[in-house]
Each structure stands twice: as structure tokens, then as C-alpha cells.
Amino acid sequence: MFTGIVEHMGTVSSIVPLDTSASGGGGFSITVADAAPVLVDVNLGDSISVNGVCLTVTEFDDARTWFKIGVSPETLRKTNLGDLKNTDKVNLERAMNASTRFGGHMVQGHVDTTVTIHSITPDPPNSYIFTFKVDSPTDASSADLFSYIIPKGYTCLDGTSLTITKVDRVHRTFSIMLIAYTQEKVVMMSRKVGDRVNLEVDQLGKYVESVVESVLEREDQGQEGGVIGRLVRRIVDERLREAGVISASQ
């Protein structure tokens, strides 16, 4: 788990295709340099968030200045890591531990999809508003991630915990604001209109949706005593009593 508070920006120094016999092909090994602040207590097998993607440290140097991670084909399909080039900056955050002060929001490092930067607008005196476009689901079985995006809710963009300032459901866009301090600490300011950004929606919305769907499914199956059914019956009875259709004792 992560907080979405970026600790440091590292630099991509090498991108090498993985051995097809070992990985099944299509993946990459990425070396991230200038990474000393997040390697002080690292061990092989530890998780580090790279642009919001939870990845496993497979190698690092004795001086703890660089580390390697493997990126699978599935990760490349879901994220923007396949767009990386040598010298690109990446957001880095170590996984949480028991003594971590919690400053962002609960982030899994499991990127849901990528969104496209729709516009970048200065917000004087020293802030910027970034607006992102969320694509519609590709098929009927895919969840519409836009339903999890709400004004003043959390979102995680390239591993950065940010507050949603505006939602336009007609055009399927949402906006966040970067203050001057954040601009210096994350990679977002190096992005341009049309670039893809990793998105992880707030997982709380997913849990709530799952519970509600389960309740509604039981109701559809005609199970007695369901939460929704009891609520509906209570409201109907109250309205009937108010209209005098049934007595107060019923």
C-alpha cells in the first residue's frame, strides 16, 4: 500500500526487453537512477511505486543509487510505462510501513487505466489546472471508471494523491490543481496535452459499489429480509399511513 505522497523523482537510465524464455515476451526491465532517497532501507523483493505502479525491486547497486524493476506485458497494457524513454523522470514512493505518517490517501499501486491530458491552464498566481479525459468503456462488461470520480474526492495520477476540483460528466473530463510546491516534486509539470497519465481511482468507491451490487442481486433473487426491500417497504408503509390508506397501528 502507498499514500500517494511522492517521495522523490528518479531518472530512467535503461530500458531493456526481458528474456522471452523467462518472461513470456513483451516485457521490459527498467533501471531507475538518481533513486538514493527511496533506497536507504530497500531489500530485494520490496515494492516501490513508479509513476503509481506497484513494482518489485529485482536488483540495486551497493551504493543504493539505482534499482531495477521488471514490467510485464499486462502492466504495459494498463499503464503508461511503455511510453517511458531514457532520461525521463518518474515519481517514486516506497511502500507504507507501520510507522508511516499517513498524509495522502490509501493507494494500492494497481493502475486502473490511463487518461489523456485534455488541457493545462495557468491558475494565477502560481498554480496550474490539469484537465483529463476519461475514455468510455470498451465493452459492456468493463466498469465505467468515470463513475468513481467525484468532486473533492481523491484520485491518484502517476502515483500522486490529488483532489478532484471539477467533474464534467457530459464531456467525461475531470480536473485537478497543482500548487507551486507540488509542481516541483512530481513529474506532472513535464507532461503536455495529449500525454497519457496513469489513473488509480479511489478504491472506497469500488468497495461500496460491490456491496450495493451484492445487496441488489439478493433482492433480485427474491431473498426475504434484504436491506433494500425492508427500506422500500418501510417508506411505502409510512406514505400509506400519511395518506390514511392504512391505520397507524398497521
Q: Over range 135-164, report the average pLDDT.
A: 90
pLDDT value at residue 184: 94
pLDDT value at residue 249: 64
The separation between CA 152 and the C-alpha centre of its own chain, rounded to angstroms, equals: 15
Cell 397507524 locates to: 248
**CA atoms of 56 and 247, how far apart (whole Å):** 66
pLDDT value at residue 250: 62
CB 202 within 8 A of CB 105: yes
pLDDT at 239 over 50: yes
Residue 27, all three cell numbers: 516485457
pLDDT per residue as tens digits for the range 28-59: 999 999 999 999 999 999 999 999 999 999 99
Instruction: Determine what percent of the chain is predicted with pLDDT higher than 70.
Output: 86
Higher pLDDT, 249 or 176: 176
Q: Over range 92-113, report the average pLDDT.
A: 84
pLDDT per residue as tens digits for the range 53-97: 999 999 999 999 999 999 999 999 999 999 999 999 999 999 987
Sheet strands (E) in the chain: 8-17, 28-33, 47-50, 53-60, 67-71, 89-94, 113-123, 127-133, 154-157, 160-168, 173-178, 196-201
| Mean pLDDT for the chain overall | 88
pLDDT at 100 over 70: no
pLDDT value at residue 23: 46
pLDDT value at residue 48: 97
pLDDT value at residue 163: 95
pLDDT per residue as tens digits for the range 180-231: 999 999 999 999 999 999 999 988 878 777 777 776 676 666 555 566 667 7
38: nearest Cα among 122, 123, 96: 96
- In sequence order, the 6+-apart residues with CB closer than 8 A to the CB of 218 are 226
